[in-house]
């Protein structure tokens, strides 16, 4: 199974890595020899991810193992179980599939899920710069539809960020999205069991500060609109390479999400302009009050896809009501073709360093230089002399008749 990414990310969201030390899980068979663990492909703070083979189904899978030293941490073990149980209720094609969950030995928990190869959305933007609007809209729309299924099942993700949107190839689609990591999802006690109740209490803040909704930042009750807000922040960053706020600490982000207006999309990067309909869509999804956002993740996804289709056309129109609409400004960023013309817009040296875990060990504030997106001057229109409204043959015969008449008059005299 080839991968186009030299540092692949797995379905568990950890960057590929290997270790010089002998790994006790490599070569091990688990769950009654259903899976044969072959290699470690990722590692993170909570555990490691392995590539395994399932002989009976003739396929490779990913095995996410919680570090043995953390199994005594009730909160982390509960989060691990929460992730498996939440995803086991979901079947949307844009949600990563969980195949098995349990203990592979005493106290060692693991989740078996589908194996993905590609990059998370943060990696995509970091390597290629801000995305063409239509591409960004379609990527986020897929996540919105996946989340709508979760919302209908009573599950709110609560930790959406570009690192949890995995972009891979599937058939003819090169930007197929999988939503990852429901470890902080808010679900009902019936769905997760009594050991996870401590993670569902109101008045506690969970998630990544850069992408929290205003109500989440204030530890208020959450709703599907909270995930819609987080998706809007993700879309904003995919379009500009920057977040909607300039902040220096997690607390600053929480305060700004709660009360400060976001930096307008059209003003975030010098020289980078967007269709008016896109600016209005982002503004609506980033509204401070949940009721002012889209009524559901599905409605948000529908609006994203519709707008993506419109701005892919040579002449696009606003999708908002006539009273609020206006023809968008045509720029090089309004078509998919502009994606191939964008330069490599990598960020600062901090951006190109090892990724920082957001909201934990630091704030990853990315800065992407503005692309040269000046529209080419219009082609000159050829100017031609005005043409007579009388056909040329009429003028010819009229002149001939006048000449004959004049000759006859002279002959008489």
Per-residue DSSP letters for 115-168? ---EEEHHHHHHHH-SPPHHHHHHHHHHHHHHHHHHHHTT-B-----GGGEEEE
pLDDT of residue 306: 97
Tell me if the pTM is above 0.85.
no
Query: What pLDDT is attached to residue 333?
Result: 32
Distance between CA 358 and CA 365 in Å, rounded? 9
- Residue 308 to residues 39, 73, 140, 263, 303, Cα–Cα distance (Å): 40, 45, 11, 22, 8
pLDDT at 108: 85
The C-alpha atoms of residue 196 and residue 181 are separated, in whole angstroms, by 16
Q: Which CATH number among 3.30.1370.60, 3.10.20.80, 3.30.200.20, 3.40.50.10490 corresponds to the domain 29-114? A: 3.30.200.20
Known active-site residue 159: yes
What is the pLDDT, as a whole number, of residue 206? 67
How far is Cα 226 from Cα 370, in angstroms, rounded to an integer?
Answer: 30
Domain ranges for the chain = 29-114, 119-341
Element (H, E) at 244: none
Selecting among 148, 159, 181, 227, the annotated active-site residue is 159
> What is the rounded distance in angstroms from the CA atom of residue 137 to the CA atom of residue 120?
16
The dihedral of CA 269, 145, 16, 80: what is its sign? positive
What is the Cβ-side half-sphere exposure of residue 127, based on CA atoms within 13 angstroms?
A: 12
Return the CATH superfamily for domain 119-341. Transferase(Phosphotransferase) domain 1 (1.10.510.10)
Averages of pLDDT over each 10 residues, the chain, 413 residues: 39 45 87 94 81 95 82 72 79 92 83 92 95 97 96 90 93 90 63 44 67 94 95 98 94 95 95 95 98 98 97 49 33 32 28 36 35 39 41 52 54 49
């Amino acid at each position: 199974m080839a991968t186009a990414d030299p540092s692949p990310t797995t379905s568990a969201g950890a960057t590929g890595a290997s270790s010089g030390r002998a790994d006790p899980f490599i070569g091990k068979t688990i769950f009654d020899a259903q899976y044969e663990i072959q290699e470690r492909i990722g590692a993170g703070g909570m555990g490691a991810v392995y590539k395994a083979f399932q002989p009976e189904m003739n396929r490779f899978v990913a095995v996410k193992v919680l570090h043995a030293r953390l199994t005594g941490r009730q909160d982390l073990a509960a989060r691990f179980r929460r992730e498996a149980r939440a995803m086991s209720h979901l079947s949307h094609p844009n949600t990563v599939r969980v195949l098995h969950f349990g203990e592979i030995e005493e106290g060692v928990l693991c989740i078996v899920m589908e194996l993905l190869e590609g990059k998370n959305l943060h990696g995509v933007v970091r390597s290629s710069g801000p995305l063409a609007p239509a591409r960004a809209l379609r990527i986020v729309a897929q996540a919105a539809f996946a989340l709508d299924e979760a919302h209908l099942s009573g599950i709110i993700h609560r930790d959406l960020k570009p690192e949890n949107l995995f972009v891979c190839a599937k058939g003819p689609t090169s930007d197929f999205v999988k939503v990852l990591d429901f470890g902080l999802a808010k679900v009902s006690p019936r769905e997760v069991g009594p050991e996870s109740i401590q993670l569902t209490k109101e008045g506690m803040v969970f998630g990544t500060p850069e992408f929290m909704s205003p109500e989440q930042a204030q530890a208020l009750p959450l709703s599907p609109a909270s995930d819609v807000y987080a998706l809007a922040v993700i879309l904003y960053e995919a379009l500009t390479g920057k977040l909607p706020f300039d902040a220096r600490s997690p607390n600053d982000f929480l305060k700004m999400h709660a009360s400060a207006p976001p930096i307008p999309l059209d003003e975030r990067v010098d020289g980078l302009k967007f269709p008016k309909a896109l600016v209005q869509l982002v503004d609506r999804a980033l509204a401070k009050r949940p009721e002012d956002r889209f009524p559901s993740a599905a409605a948000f996804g529908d609006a994203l896809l519709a707008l993506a289709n419109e701005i892919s056309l040579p002449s696009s129109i606003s999708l908002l009501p006539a009273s609020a609409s206006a023809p968008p400004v045509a720029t090089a960023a309004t078509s998919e073709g502009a994606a191939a013309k964008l330069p490599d817009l990598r960020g600062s040296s901090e951006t190109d360093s090892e990724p920082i875990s957001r909201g934990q060990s630091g704030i990853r504030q990315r800065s992407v230089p503005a692309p040269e997106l000046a529209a080419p001057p219009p082609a000159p229109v050829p100017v031609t002399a005005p043409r007579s409204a009388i056909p040329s043959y009429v003028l010819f015969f009229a002149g001939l008749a006048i000449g004959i008449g004049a000759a006859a008059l002279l002959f008489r005299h």
